[in-house]
Amino acid sequence: MSVLPIVTYNDPVLREKTKPVEENTQELQTLIDDMFDTMYNSQGVGLAAPQIGEKIQLFVMDVDGITDELEDETSRGPLVIINPEIVETAGEKVKMEEGCLSIPDVRDDVVRPERVTIEYLDRDLNTKHIEAEGWESRVIQHEYDHLQGVLFLDYLSAFKKRLHKSLLKKIDKGTLKIEYPVVPKK
C-alpha cells in the first residue's frame, strides 16, 4: 500500500465528470487500499478518486474520528463507495464548515441538506444502500460532488472566494506548506 500525491484544486481532473467502475480488478483493490493510506496520512475523512488523478466513480471515507466524539452520530467505520447515486436528500439545509485535501488550509461554511440516501457498490461490487445524516451525510455529499467535477468552493459567494484568494495563490505557486504529498496543476 502507498500514499499517493493529491492533486490541488486547480488541476483540470477535478472539474471532469467521472466514469463508472465496470469491473473488480486487482488494480482497483490496490487503488482502494492506496486511497485509504493517502486519506489517513493526510488526516482526511474522505478522498475521491479524482483527487489522486483517477477519473472513476470511487471514493473512500471514514468519519469515525469525528463521530466518536458525538453521541447522536452514526459510525460505520471505513467505507468504499463505488458508482454512487444519490437517491434522495431530505431535512433542513444545514450550514457546516468544510475543507478539502485538494484545497489545503481553505475552510468555509457550505449549506447542504441534512440527510442523504445513496445507492452504491462496495469494494466487492455488491449493491448497498445508506441513509446518512450529520457528518456522514456531509462527507458523502462532498465526495460525491468530486465525482461530478464540483468543489466546495463552487458553493461560496464571490465575496467568500475573494477572501481565500491569497491562500489559493500560495497553492498555485507551491509556496503553501502542506503536510502531505500534493501534485500541483499539470
Q: How far apart, in whole angstroms, are the C-alpha atoms of residue 7 and residue 104? A: 11
Q: Determine the pLDDT at residue 174.
A: 86
Q: Say if 124 falls within a structural domain.
A: yes
Contact present, 48 and 147 (Cβ < 8 Å) = yes
Residue 49, class by beta-carbon neighbours within 10 Å (0-12 exposed, 13-18 middle, 19+ buried)?
Answer: buried
Q: Determine the pLDDT at residue 66.
A: 65
Q: Determine the pLDDT at residue 55.
A: 98
Catalytic residue flag (residue 22): no
Average pLDDT over residues 27-39: 98
Q: Say if 179 falls within a structural domain.
A: no
Residue 11: give its domain's CATH number: 3.90.45.10
Quick one: what percent of the chain has pLDDT higher than 90?
86
Structural domain for 74, as ranges: 6-171
DSSP 8-state symbol, 56: B
Average pLDDT over residues 16-45: 97
Phi, psi of 108 (to 5 degrees): -165, 165
Q: What grid cell was written down for 66?
A: 469525528
Q: What grid cell was written down for 172?
A: 498555485
Contact present, 171 and 111 (Cβ < 8 Å) = no
Q: Say if 67 falls within a structural domain.
A: yes
* Number of domains comprising the chain: 1
Each residue of 112-154: pLDDT tens digit?
Answer: 999 999 999 999 999 999 999 988 999 999 999 999 999 999 9
- Report the predicted TM-score, pTM, of the whole model to 2 decimal places: 0.93
Q: How far apart, in whole angstroms, are the C-alpha atoms of residue 121 and residue 24? A: 11
Q: Say if 184 falls within a structural domain.
A: no
Each residue of 57-78: pLDDT tens digit?
Answer: 999 999 986 655 555 666 678 9
Residue 1 confidence class, pLDDT cut points 50, 70, 90? confident
Q: Say if 180 falls within a structural domain.
A: no
Q: Say if 97 falls within a structural domain.
A: yes
Q: How far apart, in whole angstroms, are the C-alpha atoms of residue 159 and residue 166? A: 13
Residue 113, class by beta-carbon neighbours within 10 Å (0-12 exposed, 13-18 middle, 19+ buried)?
Answer: middle
Question: 3-state class of 3 per DSSP?
Answer: coil
Q: One of 54, 98, 136, 143 is an active-site residue; which one? A: 143
Strand-pair category, 46-48 with 127-133 = unpaired
Q: Say if 182 falls within a structural domain.
A: no
Q: Say if 156 falls within a structural domain.
A: yes
